[in-house]
Amino acid sequence: MIQIFKEGRYQSGASDQSDQLEMLIREKDCFGLGSRIIITTRDEHLFVEHGIEKVYKVMPLTQDEALYLFSRKAFRKDDLEEDYLELSQNFINYAGGLPLALKTLGSFLYKRSRDEWKSALDKLKQAPDRKFFQMLKISYDGLEEMQKKIFLDVACFHKFYDKEEVIEILDSCGFVGTRIVIHVLIEKSLLSISNTRLSIHDLIQEMAWEIVRQESFDEPGGRSRLWLHSDIIHVLTNNTGTETIEGIVLRLHEFEAAHWNPEAFTKMCKLRLLKINNLRLSLGPKDLPNSLRILEWSWYPSKCLPPSFQPVELAELRMQHSKIDHLWNGIKYMVKLKSIDLSYSENLTRTPDFTGTQNLERLVFEGCTNLVKIHPSIASLKRLRVLNFKYCKSIKSLPGEVELESLETFDLSGCSKVKKIPEFVGEMKNFSKLSLSFTAVEQMPSSMIPLIPSLKEIDMSGISMRDASSGLVPVKNIELPRSWHSFFSFGLLPRRNPHPVSLVLASLKDLRFLKCLNLND
């Protein structure tokens, strides 16, 4: 909207378009002294694009302002009526400080009974008011198709997520230019940022939900996104899913048991995002869509992934607390797979063959207490950054030699049967964290010595050295680097003559944040 105050006259014209604003700027000499031009827009970038510096961002009404406006419309007076106080507060909270919503709701409720107010509130919980749904949808309708998809994903699945995490998820889902699209949606006031997390006004989120609901009013299985518990259980139980479904996210705060149709995913050939947490099912899926890019399923009920599952686009696989005893047999080629997390899958006995997943960056097997066999192909994952075997107490041996040039974190803490760690081949410039606490490691490999200067954190607590002839490292050759200021534990060194403490204490002087120095036998 462009409003012009010129020589005592007032002109107004709708304009959200860049070309109309460009025309106005070119003709600015036509306006006389004292003219004031007020531009309102849903797109903040228009001001940046045309060099407009004096910008006032309209904020939602404060609580007191919202109370006053609603009261003027609903009761035609300044204060709320006592009998309607709680109901009024519910409507005010629903409006979220938007004047249009407060005025519309207040005017509609004027001189209506308490029962009618309650009925209206229940209706709003099911579907937004038509008037401000259409007003809010104007911004959505002006988006490009990719922007619409990303906006709906954030509104349905990723509210309050860290922005960088959302960008990573959306990139994994195959979207292009996610970062700039998120920025555009923020400029258009459809999204906002709060402490690095993406947020969205409740009414705008409801508008997004309604857009998805209108894709198929009566059958949730015909919608592109499912996030409501009742809709998801309905689709999985009655096998009403279709190729329209792109994402399913079910978050339960408490465990829940359910019986469902094992063939429920068979027709979901476009499903790219599947997250199911804290739902305990009696049967596992017969099939999973090969279109999946992100698969997160805690308490997964089957011993392995379906044999027919060939997810060539899969980027992230997270199945914590699952009943899996092995992921797959043989080689599966998944070149886009970056992360596998099977934490606390206590039935897991062996890792898969990693030959076809050479782009893995993160492997987490923490708490897999029955894991015994580590496939040798793990030794050649050159892009692997995190390798976590924490509390894998059944592991006895690891590959003798590994070439993990991108490795940053290596965690073996709690692997009480591991006596020897691998020799590291090649450069490992980013290696920064090593955890060997409560292992049976008897000697550090010689290849570890050149890596010590890059370490920022090391934990060797709880290691019992019994052989005085072998040490973790030849202490007299080690000068602890100044970068070791963030150590939280420096572990047990073997007793020798002379005692190694006399050789290392000088190097410990710069460890300002050292929390534990254990020099017991």
Residue with tokens 């004292």: 34
Residue 296 contacts residue 322 (beta carbons within 8 Å): no
List pLDDT tens digits, range 346-383.
999 999 999 999 999 999 999 999 999 999 999 999 99
**Of 246, 252, 238, 286, nearest in space to 266 by CA:** 286
Identify the H or E element spanning 402.
strand 401-402
Rounded Cα distance between 513 and 501, Å, is: 19
Contact 313, 291 (CB under 8 A): yes
CB 26 within 8 A of CB 65: no
Q: CA 130 to CA 217: how far, in whole Å? A: 15
The CA distance from 81 to 88, in Å, is 9
The alpha carbon dihedral of 68, 74, 78, 80 has a sign of negative
For residues 330 and 353, the answer to whether their CB atoms sit within 8 Å is: yes
What is the spatial distance between Cα 70 and Cα 78, in angstroms, rounded to a whole number? 9
- Helix or strand holding residue 22 (H, E): helix 18-26
User: Do 370 and 348 meet the contact criterion of CB atoms below 8 Å apart?
Assistant: yes
Beta-carbon count within 10 A of 257 CB: 8
CA distance 392 to 370: 7
Name 45's Cβ contacts closer than 8 Å, sequence gap at least 6: 184, 187
What 3-state DSSP class applies to 400? coil
Which has the closest alpha carbon to 161: 191, 197, 204, 195?
197
Q: Which residue has the tokens 């947020």?
A: 199
pTM value > 0.75: yes
Distance CA 94, CA 428 (A): 54
User: What residue ranges in 143-222 does DSSP mark as E strands?
Assistant: 192-194, 197-199
Q: Which residues pair with 5 in a beta bridge?
A: 10, 36
How far, in Å, CA of 182 to CA of 203, rounded? 19
CA dihedral 160, 162, 166, 172 (to 10 degrees): -140
d(CA 462, CA 74): 69
| The Cα angle at residue 456 between residues 453 and 461, in degrees rounded to 5 | 105
Beta-bridged to residue 433, according to DSSP, are 409, 457
Separation CA 7–CA 113 (nearest Å): 50
Report the interhelical angle of 145-157 vs 178-187 (nearest 10°): 80
| Residue numbers of the chain with a pLDDT score lower than 50 | 5-16, 467-479, 481, 483-504
DSSP 285-319: -S---TT-SEEEETT--SSS--TT---TT--EEE-
Q: Would strands 2-6 and 36-39 be described as parallel, antiparallel, or unpaired?
A: antiparallel
Q: How far is CA 134 from CA 122, 146, 435, in A?
A: 20, 21, 56
Query: Residue 412 has what pLDDT?
Result: 96
pLDDT in the model for residue 8: 43
Terminal CA-CA length for the chain: 78
| Structural element, H or E, at residue 433 | strand 433-435
Contact criterion met (CB below 8 Å) for 408 and 435: no
Q: Quote the pLDDT of residue 515.
A: 58
Q: Is the dihedral of CA 89, 91, 95, 100 positive or negative?
A: negative
**Cβ neighbours around 414 below 10 Å, total:** 21
pLDDT of residue 493: 43
How far is residue 197's CA from residue 166's CA, in Å, rounded to a whole number? 9
CB 442 within 8 A of CB 467: yes
